[in-house]
Amino acid sequence: MKNSVAAIFAATACVAGKAASDDVPAPDFEMGNIPTVITPTRLRQSIMDVPASVSIITAEDIRRYGIRSIPEAFRLVPGMEVNEATGGQYKINYHGSNIRSPRRMNVLVDGISVYRPGFSEIFWSQLPIALQDIERIEVTRGPNSASYGPNSMMAVINIITKHPGDLERGSASATWGSNGLYQLHGQVARLFGSTAASLAVSSEGDHGYDWSSQREADHDSARTKRISFKSDTKLDESSSFQFQAAYVKGITEMPFTSEFESFPDIRIEDWYLGATWTKQVSPDHDFHLRFTHSNHEAKQEWTACFPRVTYLPELYALWRSNPNYANAVLAGQRPSGGSAQDDALALQAIAAVRRLGATALTPLCGTGNANRVEKRTDFEFQDTYVVSPSLRVVAGFGIREQTAESETYLGGKASNRLYRVLGNAEFKPTPGVSLNIGGYGENDDVVGWTFAPRAAMNIQMSSTQSLRAVISKGLRTPDVQEQRGNISYTLRANTPGPDGSLTPRFYQSASASGNLKPEEALSTELGYTYINQPRGVLVDARIFREKLTNLISETVEVTDFNLTNNNSVLLYGLDLQTTYEVSPTLHSFLNYTYLLNKGATVLLERSQYSRHAGALGMSKTFGNGWGLSAAYYGASGNGVGEASYGRLDFVASRNWRIGNNRLEASFVVSRLNNKSTSYLAREGSVYESRFDERMKVFGRLKVAF
Amino acid sequence: MLGKTASKSVRLRRRIVAQSMLFGTLLSAKGAKGALPGTEVRALISGSTEPVRPFIEAFGLRQRNFYYDSNLRNLVARRGSAIYLALGPVSLSTLLEANVDGPIVSVFVASQTYKQMLSGATANRTKQITGVFAECSPDSQLELAYALFQRRISVGVLLSSITAGSENLIRQAAQKHNIELTTHVVSANANPVRELNRLADVTAILAIPDAMIFNSQTLRGLLESTYRRGQGIIGFSTSMVMAGTLATAYAAVDDVAAQVDEVVQFIGRERIPESQYPYYWRVEVNKQVARSLNIIVSDGVLALGSRPKAR
């Protein structure tokens, strides 16, 4: 026991016993022997020891800089490429590359992946949480498959929501502004014995852009409603149980369509469940068991009126054998040069077309769909053991079952079971030196065994400076559609099709070859961290080289479904993030990335690329409750077909205390450098979306009680 | 109360006497400092002597005319004038109720508890009572806060109706140490953990002993919540630091013994002084928590405070 007065306090508490609690209004000793709460296993690594570059966005940053959506918050992360292609449709990649299919980054909300397993999508506008629910966002920049597994190929975004025990008893907020933006959010939190619980509801949406190039229409609004519940129960002094559930419903309007179809808007309905039991065996040893399940339903239906001839079964069969033959027959030509089977099928198709006669070109109308249901069930065990002050080990294993179902994309249902093990060790052989060595192995039904290792060394040169060298491998395993895709469009027809059926199939179809390997990123970085505490300065800089190979760059389309691992690209450059706390009331930050994209084997791997990107901001609070901030976000937009981005925000805010209640109001004026945005939809085709005005205004009111 | 405790007492007393003899030269060299002619220092302890043994030993080396017991009747039955030491709030409560004849020096009682306990006493009685508070002053804690961060930072304090009266004292200390202070008074039925929301934008939290804020039901939540937000807690005991707060200024047993001895001397020489915070103190830092919060702890921080002169 420490030779201190406090030690005596603690001990005397036990002695004082009843007399103290009865007789003394505020006994000094009543806390007794205080257990270690912030145990060695729970301690976060210092920025000096972290084996990666990490950016943290706090709730305070979000409030201070008037950030209006979760994707927009990522503009604060150096190297994160953020493009809002159409309203609510964000294309986000760390260090860019392929804007068409941004799927090389893992996104977790309180440990539950929101990365859809079947089609590698993230619906950014329909995440299960609202901006107001966020405590902080931790972004591990660079491959982190060694800790989080495949899909954590370029970065991991870990969104951590507010703990129910930390929340105010209740709050309500409303935000409104340009482009029809509205956000309504309400939350209550209560304590029930040893359980802290919170419930949040929100509704939000906007009109999106004012103009879209594809149909020259304004049809890209997004609307979302969600409800989420979270609880944390202290079972006893050493264990706790966390439970979370969320339900999301939303619609994203899609401006893309053809002259034969209506807009294929996506209606999503998702729910998430998570349960975690954490046991503290000792201050140096804890483990958790986590079970999560998520169900993602995307309903995408449209009215289609293609000529009856395109639904001929004979034409469908011919396309399966030789697409060029099918197109030739439709164009009224007699195809040649194919196999004998092609020729035979072509004859059957031509005969069928002739049988239709004049009705061949009359429209057959009905409802097409790209509906899909994806499910993920995951079980995880993870153990953290601080063997000694110089050795800390994290190890675990898990099983995941994921299924995807889609009549259109998969021809039914496909599933995949994955087994994984992970291990990471932080070893400090001498003071000032940290070694982090780890790896992640996964066995996937489709791909087989994969392994992603990482090794890092942090050397503290002085109390204020450290160097970091990291080499790591990141993986993205092909999704269910890429491996087992079987695309065909079945029409729910209003009248019988050419074969007499009410569910005729469109003649075009495609199937996956099923022999894809994981995409790989081999990353090396040299980082430098500097903390100048007296001046409130923190600098984290790194130079990096990321070699991306085995890339599946091709787009998944029914007319061109030929995925390969043939592509690669080299990314290298410099990331810099700095914060400068000039005084307790004056904060500033500067983030910058210089990126070079070299050797892309296809244009798409160079379609999201900003050689210069960054953000700069300053925020001042005043004693009377007023606050002012300004921030600029920019990206040079050097990608193929990619527009540059620049935005200047001014935020004025005011807080009032009314009794025990708190009222906050803020007003944001935002100016865009460029009213339009554009991206490469496929080689040779650039889509553009545009606002009518550069200037935007937003207002927000919040009451907390 | 005699029996085991008493015999233990006797054994301890013998040991102290022996130690006094051993250090007799040193104590004599200090001259009258070690002795109050005609006045005995009598300490009342509550329950077992074990928890307060380090203090008794340290104080016994400074005061030869020192007696302690856990039985009040044994204390008051002794002849001659006396200064009473109340070791802990239960002892203080007992001595206050017993209305003993002589000054009382409270030891190991936090300032707010001390003030509350004395609030029911008569003015004449309170004139006879003084104390060395258990916790270090806000001034010491904020001096430590500034030294830890090495710059002007914002510090938040949760107060309750018990401690709201300390706000001015804390503000003065904050001004002295160039700290931006935010205070929030927690109402009686509010949950202190939730009330931390009112201090969400401060760099660190100053914890002061207040049973309405920091108690066995809230401590875990307060520590976890502030850690989640990346805020360090300063104060108010080394046990708290072991539990996970960032750092504290604290008075070690030797520091307390020296200060109590000086108070006793002052009473003997002049008058009963005002109750006071420890003016001998040192620093305890949870280096692991500091590192995880990216705080660099300089050697200067660990050398803060002041130490009593060697005996």
DSSP code per residue over chain B: -TTHHHHHHHHHHHHHHHHHHHTHHHHHHTGGGG--TTEEEEEE--S-SGGGHHHHHHHHHH-SSEEEES-HHHHHTS-SEEEEEEESHHHHHHHHHHT-SS-EEEEEE-HHHHHHHHHTS-HHHHTTEEEEESSPPHHHHHHHHHHHHTS--EEEEEE-TTTGGGHHHHHHHHHHTT-EEEEEEPPTTS-HHHHGGGGTT-SEEE----TTTSSTTTHHHHHHHHHHTTPEEE-S-HHHHHHT-SEEEE-BHHHHHHHHHHHHHHHHHT-PPPPB--SSBEEEE-HHHHHHTT----HHHHT-SB-PPP-
Retrieve residue B267's tokens. 């009473």
Rounded CA separation B130/A305 (Å): 94
Q: How confident is the model at residue B310 (pLDDT cuts 50, 70, 90)?
A: confident
Strands (E) across A150-221 are located at: 155-161, 170-177, 181-192, 195-206, 211-212
Under 8 Å between Cβ of A677 and A691: no
Evaluate if residue A8 carries a pLDDT over 60: no
Residue identified by tokens 């450098």 is A673
CA distance B71 to chain A (A): 14
Q: What is the mean pLDDT of residues A308-325?
A: 95
CA distances from A56 to A41, A73, A382, B155, B230 (A): 21, 11, 23, 22, 11
CA-derived radius of gyration, chain A: 28
Residue A493's pLDDT is: 94
Q: Where are the alpha helices (DSSP H) in A298-356?
A: 313-321, 323-330, 340-356
- Please name the residues in contact with A272: beta carbons below 8 A apart, sequence gap of 6 or more: A109, A112, A114, A128, A244, A245, A246, A247, A292, A293, A294, A295
Rounded CA separation B122/B158 (Å): 31
List CB contacts (< 8 A) between B109 and chain A.
28
- Amino acid identity of A578? T
Q: Where are the alpha helices (DSSP H) in A98-245?
A: 145-148
Evaluate if residue A227 carries a pLDDT over 60: yes
**Residue in B62, B53, B73, B68 with CA at minimum distance from that of residue B19:** B62
Higher pLDDT, A613 or B9: A613
Residue B37's pLDDT is: 65
Contact A536 B252 (CB under 8 A): no
CA distance B65 to chain A (A): 23
Whole-structure pTM value: 0.88
Residue in A6, A49, A535 nearest the CB of B237: A6
CA distance A138 to chain B (A): 12
Residue A345 in 3-state DSSP? helix
Residue B36's pLDDT is: 59
Evaluate if residue A16 carries a pLDDT over 70: no
Contact A533 B48 (CB under 8 A): no
- Dihedral-angle region of residue A291 (phi above 0 means left; psi in -120 to 50 means alpha; beta otherwise): beta
pLDDT in tens, B4-33: 333 333 333 333 333 333 332 223 223 334
Residue A31's pLDDT is: 52
The complex scores an ipTM of 0.84
Residue A403's pLDDT is: 93
Mean pLDDT is lowest, of A542-556, A560-574, B114-128, for B114-128
Under 8 Å between Cβ of A442 and A419: yes
Which of A1, A2, A12, A57 to probe the B interface (max B CBs under 10 A)? A12
Phi and psi at residue A683, to the nearest 5°: -60, 125
Q: What is the mean pLDDT of chain B?
A: 85
The burial of A87, by beta-carbon neighbours within 10 Å (0-12 exposed, 13-18 middle, 19 or more buried), is given as buried
Q: What is the mean pLDDT of chain A?
A: 90
Residue A20's pLDDT is: 32
Q: Percentage of residues in chain A with pLDDT exceeding 70? A: 95
Residue A445's pLDDT is: 82
Cβ burial A100-137 (10 Å sphere, 16+ → b, else e): bbbbbbbbbbbbbbbbbbbbbbbbbbbbbbbbbbbbbb
Evaluate if residue A669 carries a pLDDT over 90: yes
Q: Please give the residue of chain B at the shortest CA–CA distance from A60.
A: B201
pLDDT in tens, B182-205: 999 998 888 899 999 889 889 999
CA distance B75 to chain A (A): 19
Under 8 Å between Cβ of A208 and A178: no
Q: What is the mean pLDDT of residues B140-160?
A: 96
Residue B12's pLDDT is: 39
Helices B4-22 and B53-62, packing angle to 10 deg: 40
Q: Percentage of residues in chain B with pLDDT exceeding 90? A: 64
**Residue in A469, A569, A475, A476 with CA at minimum distance from that of residue A524:** A469
Contact A662 B198 (CB under 8 A): yes
CA-derived radius of gyration, chain B: 21
Residue B31's pLDDT is: 34
Residue A601's pLDDT is: 96
Residue B171's pLDDT is: 97
Contact B244 A38 (CB under 8 A): yes
Rounded CA separation B28/B26 (Å): 5
DSSP code at position A97 = B
List CB contacts (< 8 A) between A27 and chain B.
89, 113, 211
Query: Is A191 in the B-facing interface, judged by CB distances under 8 Å?
Result: yes
Q: What is the mean pLDDT of residues A305-320?
A: 95
Q: How confident is the model at residue A246 (pLDDT cuts 50, 70, 90)?
A: very high
Under 8 Å between Cβ of B60 and B86: no
Q: How confident is the model at residue B215 (pLDDT cuts 50, 70, 90)?
A: confident
Evaluate if residue A5 carries a pLDDT over 60: no
Q: How confident is the model at residue B285 (pLDDT cuts 50, 70, 90)?
A: very high
Residue in B162, B209, B256 nearest the CB of A28: B209
Evaluate if residue A511 carries a pLDDT over 70: yes
Contact B294 A4 (CB under 8 A): no
CA distance A48 to chain B (A): 8
Q: What is the mean pLDDT of residues A624-631?
A: 95
Q: Please give the residue of chain A at the shortest CA–CA distance from B88.
A: A12
Residue in A45, A165, A536 nearest the CB of B292: A45
Contact A534 B243 (CB under 8 A): no
pLDDT in tens, B86-129: 999 899 999 999 888 899 999 999 998 899 899 888 888 888 99
CA distance A509 to chain B (A): 51
Residue identified by tokens 């937000």 is B229
Q: What is the mean pLDDT of residues B225-238?
A: 92
Helices B253-269 and B53-62, packing angle to 10 deg: 50
Contact B89 A24 (CB under 8 A): yes
Long-range contacts of B114-122 (CB under 8 A, 24+ apart): B114/B275, B115/B165, B116/A24, B116/A25, B116/A26, B116/B162, B117/A24, B117/A25, B117/B89, B117/B92, B117/B93, B121/B96
A 224-253 near B (Cβ less than 8 A): 234
A 126-145 near B (Cβ less than 8 A): 135
pLDDT in tens, A424-474: 999 999 989 999 999 999 998 878 899 999 999 999 999 899 999 999 999
Q: Percentage of residues in chain A with pLDDT exceeding 90? A: 76
CA distance A108 to chain B (A): 18
Order of strands across the sheet that contains A53-58: A53-58, A134-141, A155-161, A105-109, A112-113
Q: What is the mean pLDDT of residues B279-289?
A: 95
Residue A34's pLDDT is: 74
- Dihedral-angle region of residue A192 (phi above 0 means left; psi in -120 to 50 means alpha; beta otherwise): beta
Evaluate if residue A18 carries a pLDDT over 60: no
Evaluate if residue B40 carries a pLDDT over 60: yes
Name the helix (H) or strand (E) containing A450. strand A448-460
Rounded CA separation A301/A316 (Å): 21
List CB contacts (< 8 A) between B162 and chain A.
25-26
Evaluate if residue A15 carries a pLDDT over 70: no
Q: What is the mean pLDDT of residues A542-547?
A: 98
Retrieve residue B161's tokens. 């109706």
Residue A88's pLDDT is: 85
Query: Is A692 in the B-facing interface, judged by CB distances under 8 Å?
Result: no
Retrieve residue B40's tokens. 């005995």
A 498-537 near B (Cβ less than 8 A): 531, 533-536
List CB contacts (< 8 A) between B239 and chain A.
6-7, 9-10, 31, 33-34
